[in-house]
Amino acid sequence: MLNMPRAAINVNDGFYGNHTISSNVIFNTVRETRDHGPINTWDRQPFLTDAVQFGLPSLWQHMSYIHHNTIIGNYRSVWPIDHDDGSCFYEDSYNFLVYGGKKNYLGHSKTDHHEIYVYPDVYKPGFGNGNCVGGSTGWNESWTQNICVLYQTSVPYSIGNCDVASLVLPYFANNSIYIPSGKQVVFICNVNGTSTRMTLEQWQSYGLDVGTIVKMAPDTQTIIEWGRKMLQGTM
């Protein structure tokens, strides 16, 4: 999917869930608009269905899956997968995502694992998150076993109202974060009501990102090889 004015795929109110988006190559989208990504999801309207348990209506939906895609967020894209406006019940995995980080805007129950994020901060320092993970997260969110290669910043996360004591802070664990040579990683979050800049060790002391490592960014060919192996199921 390529060369289009707005998003390539839009899930408008993920009624019932149980959607799958996989094995696509998407680039050159969002050429005439802005403030969204090649894949855009909304969940502005809750629906009462018996999706999860027959005969028992609830607001709980089936999970939807976005996996094994290559998505390049060039032109005016902001996030490769843009989970906007309260999106719920999504599992994103094994995607190779270039130019843009993880987007959560409200909603809940989204998991993100075994992804490769490449240069989320390369050309959007003033718009979009410009980090591996950003947005105003909801509850039951997780970001685990992902690779994120930063191009110029050394701040992996930009989370609205971040507080180490918050019960709705995403669950981070076992990630690999790569930062530019010569920089020190910085995690920014409120501690006792005060915005605090932390090292990885200090961040992990609050039980966050257990198992996560930080290294210097590799060369481009290494990153491409990671993506090839992941998409082919050999990594």
Domain-located, residue 4:
no
* Predicted pLDDT at 167: 78
Note the pLDDT tens digit of each residue in 89-111.
999 999 999 999 998 888 899 99
Provide the domain count of the chain: 1
Domain-located, residue 127:
yes
Domain-located, residue 167:
yes
Domain-located, residue 212:
yes
Taken in order 209, 215, 216, 219, is the CA torsion positive or negative? negative
Answer whether 0.85 is exceeded by the pTM.
Answer: yes
* Predicted pLDDT at 126: 47
Q: Which residues of the chain register pLDDT less than 70?
A: 124-129, 235
* Predicted pLDDT at 128: 55
Domain-located, residue 195:
yes
* Predicted pLDDT at 2: 97
Structural domain harbouring 213? 9-231
Strands across the sheet with 64-67, in order? 20-22, 64-67, 88-93, 108-113, 141-144, 171-173
Domain-located, residue 3:
no
CA 181 to CA 212: how far, in whole Å?
A: 18
Partners of 40 in the beta sheet? 10, 82
Domain-located, residue 21:
yes
Neighbours of 49 (CB within 10 A): 16
Domain-located, residue 2:
no
Note the pLDDT tens digit of each residue in 159-201.
888 999 987 889 999 999 999 999 999 999 999 999 999 999 9
How many Cα atoms occupy the beta-carbon half-sphere of 224 within 13 Å? 3
φ, ψ dihedrals at 184, nearest 5°: -115, 135
